[in-house]
Structure 1
Amino acid sequence: MAACRLCGATLTHTFVDLGMSPPCESYLASEQLDQGETFFPLHVRVCTECLLVQLPAYIAAEDIFSDYAYFSSYSDSWVAHAKRHVDNAVEQLVLGPESFVVEVASNDGYLLQHVVARGIKALGIEPAANIAAVANEKGIPTEVMFLGEEIGAKVASTYGRADLVVANNVFAHVPDIVDFAKGLRELVADDGYVTIEIPHLLRLIEGNEYDTIYHEHYSYLSLLTTQRVLATAGLSVVDVDELTTHGGSLRTWSTPRENASEPSASVRRVLADEAAAGLDTVEGHDGFAPQVADVRNDFVEFLIDQQRAGRQVVGYGAPGKGNTLLNHCGIREDLIEFVVDRSPHKHGMFLPGTHIPIHPVERLAEARPDYVVIMPWNLRTEIAEQLAYVRKWGGRLVVALPHLEIL
């Protein structure tokens, strides 16, 4: 049995088991379609000692993130979200030309571009060399590294410690989350702040958001367990923002323990909400698996009904989360003919496991499908506006999560 990555206890309690699936970002070229694919378990467990919900590291982080297919800047709403965070942090922390901001898992510079535009010294730490190259071309200094305690100390000795360290949607992506937290502590100044954005486990459960479970998400975090992880590195959570991104996220503000103030009312409120939902007990995590089965059944029945009626269904977007949904439901090209995506890096490729082809967005207007399933349902508002033209031929938009809905 696997051991808890936070406290070391043996993992015996199932949170949800989604069967077997290939790595969600392992898109295939046409010449790979007749080759074998490796599928790994998506069996998520909750630690009975510290309550960290986690997926064992079936795949090494280096195998997932060293060459990555996700470019953050292709989501306009995500870039705008990042700018708001920068604007808020600059005002709240009084950052200026003498300040220093580091982002871990900085991707293509989607956030740090707003820091650089203000004349503030910035550094990105990004493990995917192909994506770091894009950021460097934009003029955003980016080092190709996986953060840990040793790397954090090395970066701090070279560049100095940061007034603000940002880690957006990466905390759940590291198998050695304790070493990563210690890396954050090495990067931040003694009077600096670390902000971490994580999908909130409470919202995942409430919203049936099981497609956010995939092999590169090693941990599924509550505020309670986030506090426990950061405490191992000498960081204390002093404030938290509740966000709508990714179906409901948290942005924690932490600072070195020796300079930490008392936690804010927001921290106390979120912890109380988690306790009210039972997330301070092992038993409170039960009941999610039946919800997942209901979502799967409704989606598959809808697709089969459309196939029998001779209607064409396609997908919009090729995000990793969509691949969890499609593989868990056993969907293939006979039920969803193709998907389209804005990223040219995915055009001409095929989805892992399902082998559904990926085309440019322009293919929608050519095919004029009856239904378009929005795979990144967390961006449904933005995407529905972009796809308003689908109505011209009588097409309808669909989301499968948090429950089946025809828009």
Structure 2
Amino acid sequence: MQCRLCDSGRLTSVLDLGATPPCESFLSAAELDLPEATYPLHLRLCEDCLLLQIPALITPEDTFTEYAYFSSFSDSWVRHAEHFVTTTAERLGLGGDSFIVEVASNDGYLLRHAVARGIPCLGIEPSVNVGRAAREAGVPTETAFLEQDSAARIRAEHGPADLVVANNVYAHVPDLRGFTHALRTLLSDDGWCSIEVHHALNLVQLGQFDTIYHEHFQYYTVHSAQRALAIAGLTVVDVELLDTHGGSIRLWARPDAVAEPSARVGEILDLERAAGLHEPAGYAALGARAESVRQELLRFLLDCRAAGKRVVGYGAPGKGNTLLNYCGIRPDLLEYTVDRNPYKHGRYTPGTRIPIHPPERIDADEPDVVLVLPWNLETEITAQLSHVGEWGGELIYPLPVLHRATAGEPVAAGALSE
């Protein structure tokens, strides 16, 4: 394996999660007796450019032609997108004579707010089923993978963009260099590119290993993102720390000719440097943290089983499937899980084959424990499931440490057995 950014062969192991199925390959009932493909999930670090990455063993076409994830099923994510459109339109002076392009625009969760403000926009979404939902919602959307040829064609047809948005996609591209050049092709010479991506600082420091899965090919610090964007003549001019997805960064990049970095860029680089992430040694602790989470969660679930408690899950996110497979959690420990996305109802989680039901199933069964797999949405989900306590049920979150939520307040893991 060579680094996909700098071609170095000096890659060192950070965390080996074994072999798992792709995290969005949910199974139908008819597929339960068929073989299931698995692929190594092994995180490595380039010692030269410090890009965290996994081997590109599946293609974007394998994952995104028909996709199970619809962004609009998360209320907090839709609010996040609306706030971004509102504040960015004011910051950049975007209006009826502007043009926004969003790459990997999903079901129109973000651009629908641009449409509402009368700002011309276009979504580029590779998944046929998800892009169709966006068009039905009134968001102009083209079904395509972003690459240099498609970027050139879209620019020729629609003109350069004043703003290019790439939320939670910069990790999903194995051709990192080609994709970065395509972003630059879409952008006007004085335009802005906004990229949101999970921050590797949180991945390492908080042990968020479940954010590692096959469709996430690389994981960024600001330091490594700077190097990646620079190959296409883009300079990071500002950075924001976000609480989405367990801790993300919003990178603001502009063509070199108009770039003047803000003080925040240096401040966050200093945070990363202080955490040791500008040196290979700083990444060594992730493996031990992941093992600790696995042991603690399994111990808790085994104790629940021994006590005769009924345990079910909430959510069927991609990160949950990394957690379930790494920990070896199957229906004997987690009877089923539920999800708001109807696409997943009647299907089974990849690898662990846990059945997925509509959320109403929890209210009907009144289980003793609900294990919340999308732990990054704790505030939102704790509010949605506050009634679980009415029948004596508990909400349990597995990360960043195993804890119970009571009226939105976490309780130390040591109290779980009380």
Give secondary structure in 1 for the equivalent of 2:196.
strand
Equivalences for residues 206-225 of structure 1 within 5 A: 206-225=205-224
1:6 is aligned to 2:2:
no
Give the partner amino acid of 1:321: K
| RMSD, matched Cα | 0.7
Equivalences for residues 197-208 of structure 1 within 5 A: 197-208=196-207
Cα contact 1:164–1:192 (8 A) shared by 2 = yes
* Distance (Å, rounded) in 1 between the aligned partners of 2:69 and 2:132: 13
Equivalent residue number for residue 276 of structure 2? 278
* Distance (Å, rounded) in 1 between the aligned partners of 2:259 and 2:156: 24
Q: CA deviation at 1:284?
A: 1.4
Q: CA deviation at 1:342?
A: 0.6
* Residues 141-164 of structure 1: per-residue CA shift (max 9 Å, x gap): 111111122221111001000000
Which one of 323, 326, 334 corresponds to residue 325 of structure 1? 323
Cα contact 2:2–2:11 (8 A) shared by 1 = no
Give secondary structure in 1 for the equivalent of 2:41.
strand
Equivalent residue number for residue 268 of structure 1? 266
1:105 is aligned to 2:104:
yes
* Residues 124-148 of structure 1: per-residue CA shift (max 9 Å, x gap): 0001011001111111111111112
Equivalent residue number for residue 341 of structure 1? 339
Moved more, 144-153 or 188-197: 144-153
Q: CA deviation at 1:12?
A: 3.2
* Residues 204-245 of structure 1: per-residue CA shift (max 9 Å, x gap): 112211100000000010000000000001100000110000
Give the partner amino acid of 1:402: P
Cα contact 1:163–1:192 (8 A) shared by 2 = yes
* Distance (Å, rounded) in 2 between the aligned partners of 1:389 and 1:277: 40
* Distance (Å, rounded) in 1 between the aligned partners of 2:348 and 2:283: 35
* Distance (Å, rounded) in 2 between the aligned partners of 1:151 and 1:359: 38
Q: TM-score, normalised by structure 2?
A: 0.96
Give secondary structure in 2 for the equivalent of 1:57.
coil
Moved more, 142-151 or 359-368: 142-151
Runs of 4+ in 1 over 4 A off after TM superposition: none
Cα contact 2:312–2:369 (8 A) shared by 1 = yes
Unaligned runs of 5+ in 1: none
Q: CA deviation at 1:96?
A: 0.6
Equivalent residue number for residue 246 of structure 1? 245
Which one of 401, 404, 407 corresponds to residue 406 of structure 1? 404
* Distance (Å, rounded) in 1 between the aligned partners of 2:90 and 2:11: 46
Equivalent residue number for residue 140 of structure 2? 141
* Distance (Å, rounded) in 2 between the aligned partners of 1:404 and 1:366: 26
Percent identical among aligned pairs is 53
Cα contact 1:207–1:247 (8 A) shared by 2 = no
Equivalent residue number for residue 393 of structure 1? 391
Equivalent residue number for residue 306 of structure 1? 304
Equivalent residue number for residue 80 of structure 1? 79
Q: TM-score, normalised by structure 1?
A: 0.99
* Residues 176-198 of structure 1: per-residue CA shift (max 9 Å, x gap): 11111111100011111000001
Unaligned runs of 5+ in 2: 406-418
* Residues 109-131 of structure 1: per-residue CA shift (max 9 Å, x gap): 00000000001101000010110
Give secondary structure in 1 for the equivalent of 2:191.
strand
Q: CA deviation at 1:322?
A: 0.2
Give the partner amino acid of 1:63: D
Cα contact 2:10–2:48 (8 A) shared by 1 = no
Equivalent residue number for residue 171 of structure 1? 170
* Distance (Å, rounded) in 2 between the aligned partners of 1:287 and 1:225: 19
Cα contact 1:11–1:45 (8 A) shared by 2 = no
Alignment length (residue pairs): 405
